[in-house]
Amino acid sequence: MPKLVYDFIEGNKDMKDLLGGKGANLAEMTNLGLPVPPGFIISTDACRHYLTQGAVPESLAAEVTEHLTGLEQARGKTLGDHDDPLLVSVRSGAKFSMPGMMETVLNIGLSDASVQGLAKQASNERFAWDSYRRLIQMFGRTVLGIEGHEFEQALDAAKQAKGTNNDLDLDGADMKSLVDTYKQIVKAQTGRDFPQDPREQMDMAVNAVFDSWNADRAILYRRQERIPSDLGTAVNIVAMVFGNLGPDSGTGVAFTRDPGSGQQGVYGDYLQNAQGEDVVAGIRNTVPLQDLEQIDPKSYAELMQIMQTLEKHYKDLCDIEFTIERGKLWMLQTRVGKRTAGAAFRIAIQLVDQDLIDMDEALRRVSGAQLAQLMFPRFGDSENATLIAKAISASPGAAVGKAVFDSATAVEWADRGEDVILVRRETNPDDLHGMIAARGILTSRGGKTSHAAVVARGMGKTCVCGADSLEVDVNARQFTSQGSGSGQVVVREGDVISIDGTSGAVYLGEVPVVASPVVEYFEGSLEPGTDELVTAVHRIMTHADSRRRLGVRANSDTGEDSARAVRFGAQGIGLTRTEHMFLGERRQLVEDLILAEDNEARQAALAQLEPLQRGDFVEILEAMDGLPVTIRLLDPPLHEFLPDLTELSVKVALAGDQATAKDRKLLEEVRRLHEQNPMLGLRGVRLGLVIPGLYAMQVRAIAHAAADRIKAGGNPHAEIMIPLVGAVQELEAARDEAERVLRDVAAETGVSGHTLIGTMIEVPRAALTAGQIAQAAEFFSFGTNDLTQMGWGFSRDDVEGAFFGRYIEMGIFGVSPFETLDAEGIGRLVKLAVKEGRETRPDLKIGGCGEHGGDPESVRFFHEAGLDYVSCSPFRVPVARLEAGRAVALEGSGGSDSR
């Protein structure tokens, strides 16, 4: 068995895997010569053995004894000695900070005999009995599993009998009586006496800390923070120092900078005559750390010096716990402190300017998730707001507006200057105009990958989904909520509501919204230098752009979105979805195409659609002049452009003989086109090959739009993407038709140029035969939404609400594979396709344009997999730029701007 126990002097801050974060940092402070109580660390290896084998390693007891003897010699005391006892704390400490999730027991070593010796040595009977009652309470709750309220009720009763609300008013006799009461609780609840053997106390506490690794709250926290479940925790056994010896003692927490804002200064709390858990538990009110300068000037000055030493040593914001024992300062813990998103950017740049870190390290210190958090508007004070629902936070931000229940009303009210929230049971592509018009979207169904969520994130629109406590009645133009302690609430159309896409909260009435200066900066309306946060973001983004290898494009279907994408730093369009151009008023033309009874009628319908498509493409190519624009030919099944089968059937049935010939014909076509699983049916390239002239019309519109731009002095770079290809033969057939149309338009307009033709890799078979498909494709673009759906065998619209929550609870998923790319499974398909595609065509351009293109972790994967660019919604472009730069900084290699 390897070495399992380490003295502080044997470790350092780089041994977190073995010693946990707390132990590694205690060792580091010891080696820096700071005042750390002596102690030792039981490694994570011992914990993993305990968790897998059900018992500690056989060699552990002897190693603990050896190090405990060394600790006793260092302190000149023996654990549990009756005259002058050594007391120790037993604390958890995993590699990654999990505050409050695992267990701690203080004052191990006290017993009925040793408490007398402690009182004598401290000349303070109250302190000794207070320490003993704390041990019984913590040990009883943590080790013996007794409900905490049993002890709390006894303490409250003691204070009530004394006529006080303050623990400090209880004297030594009161504390001694409380110890007797606590011991009776232990006996009654467990059937055994409180253990008097100090080594038994310590060994039981160590096992309890190991067990706490798999406590429900620890498991939940790890899932939330994506901490691996197999790391285990170390255990720190440290000589006790006491902050509850009187007014010249105390305990506190300090930060070397403000974790909320990043500002330098003195930040923290201090509590006189207390032990550490009193600060955390809020039993008594703390005072600001600055007050320590008046209470104990010597300790304050020493603490300020140590804080400066630690920040320079760790080169980061440090979170510090300390105790003062009768005027002597002791350091109990330090770690790199958690901070808000704004503080992260500010602190990173401050440390660069102080020559503590370089810009690459600053880039590593921030994240795309933090940048996204800074970009969304947010609510100010919501304390007095009426909470009426809590649901899924689908797209961050804060939105306030009048509730409306259909897209037409949303557009109409928005056009007259009203702010609206579109409320639906669920949204569909027809709701796009209403979603664009609305300030935010609220649905009672769906999850983070529902239509509403995906589209809202793409537009940077606030969205709350899956509010199943809301009964949405579209016909009555209202929704009903049981509220949150506010009784039943009925919200009618026109009533103002506020939705928080960051927390998933829905409020009645208006909650004040605070704008994001970071978005104003990306939009170009706020210059760097006018705001400290904006300046920090600007400097880090500039460095990220200089380091990244991955290009970043945007998914955009309109000229307006394309122009915003350029302002946000996009280097082109990676996906233009042409189906969005067929909605709204143009839907009738698509119906005419579907209802066409012969080729002549079909061509007439296509002829009406072509100039509209051409105008759309001109607008986008103009906005992206000089940059590549990848245009995906029609992808969704035709049923999405037709009325709902059930609604149309009811309409025709109710009309009876009065039903129009068109409605009857339309119903016939809807029935003919109806599919059990339309996402795997007649769509994508299949549609283009089955409906003569459909793709030719789109290619012709693209070619004419490019020619129009060239004649106008522009520099268009259109790229044609064929969707849902599963076999190279499909791509070859579609490509032959496209090339013929391109030649015809070149001859007609006198404008020639090479237009790239490629495909989306979104069918698993396409990824597995990428070498063949590359023979006919000049570029690949991974459609990771469908690739994930087909690779996992999921119906994206159904599975999240059905069982994803349960899968995450069970640990099957750490996160939804539609949010972050499944690197092990779907990622393997991506890497295979990249490898085999480039073996066939070395100059093959490869991008990714699914939802994952703006996900920070997925962007880093795409960098590693060798893609040339990612494409995401305009609003997520800065996040992708940042993460593409971080990918280079994190791997420690060089990189250059791909523009």
Handedness of CA 309, 315, 319, 321 (dihedral sign): negative
Give the CA diameter of the chain: 106
**CA dist., res. 223 & res. 238, Å (int):** 30
Distance of CA 471 to the CA centre of its chain: 29
Distances (CA, A) of 232 to 89, 101, 813: 19, 13, 20
Of the candidates 18, 132, 19, 7, which has an alpha carbon nearest to the alpha carbon of residue 70?
7
**CA dist., res. 815 & res. 792, Å (int):** 14
Task: Report residue 747: phi and psi, to 5°.
Answer: -65, -40
Handedness of CA 162, 164, 167, 169 (dihedral sign): negative
Catalytic residue among 47, 49, 318, 451: 451
Distances (CA, A) of 601 to 153, 598, 607, 612, 682: 84, 6, 10, 18, 21
Beta strands in 326-437 (DSSP E): 328-336, 378-379, 386-390, 392-395, 398-404, 420-424
Of the candidates 591, 612, 613, 614, which has an alpha carbon nearest to the alpha carbon of residue 601?
591
Of the candidates 244, 247, 304, which has an alpha carbon nearest to the alpha carbon of residue 276?
244
| 53-60, long-range: CB < 8 A, 24+ apart | 56/206, 56/207, 56/210, 57/1, 57/4, 58/1, 59/1, 59/4, 60/4, 60/5
849 is a catalytic site residue: yes
Task: Report residue 32: phi and psi, to 5°.
Answer: -85, -5
**CA dist., res. 771 & res. 775, Å (int):** 7
Query: Which H or E element spans position 720?
Result: strand 717-722
Residues forming a β-bridge with 253: 269, 321
Of the candidates 600, 605, 560, 601, which has an alpha carbon nearest to the alpha carbon of residue 586?
605
**CA dist., res. 760 & res. 561, Å (int):** 22
Catalytic residue among 704, 849, 852, 872: 849
Does residue 633 contact residue 609 with C-beta atoms inside 8 Å?
A: no
Handedness of CA 530, 534, 540, 545 (dihedral sign): negative
49 is a catalytic site residue: no
Residue 706 token pair:
């490019």
**CA dist., res. 42 & res. 20, Å (int):** 9
User: In which residue are the tokens 């020559």 written?
Assistant: 355
Contacts of 618 (CB under 8 A, 6+ apart): 705, 708, 709
**CA dist., res. 191 & res. 507, Å (int):** 50
End-to-end CA distance of the chain: 54
| 3-state helix/strand/coil string of 728-756 | HHHHHHHHHHHHHHHHHHHHHHCCCCCCE
Does residue 385 contact residue 391 with C-beta atoms inside 8 Å?
A: no
| 3-state helix/strand/coil string of 179-223 | HHHHHHHHHHHHCCCCCCCHHHHHHHHHHHHHHHCCCHHHHHHHH
Type of residue numbered 610: E
The DSSP bridge pattern shows strands 5-7 and 39-42 to be antiparallel
Of the candidates 423, 424, 404, which has an alpha carbon nearest to the alpha carbon of residue 413?
404
Cite the active site residues: 451, 849
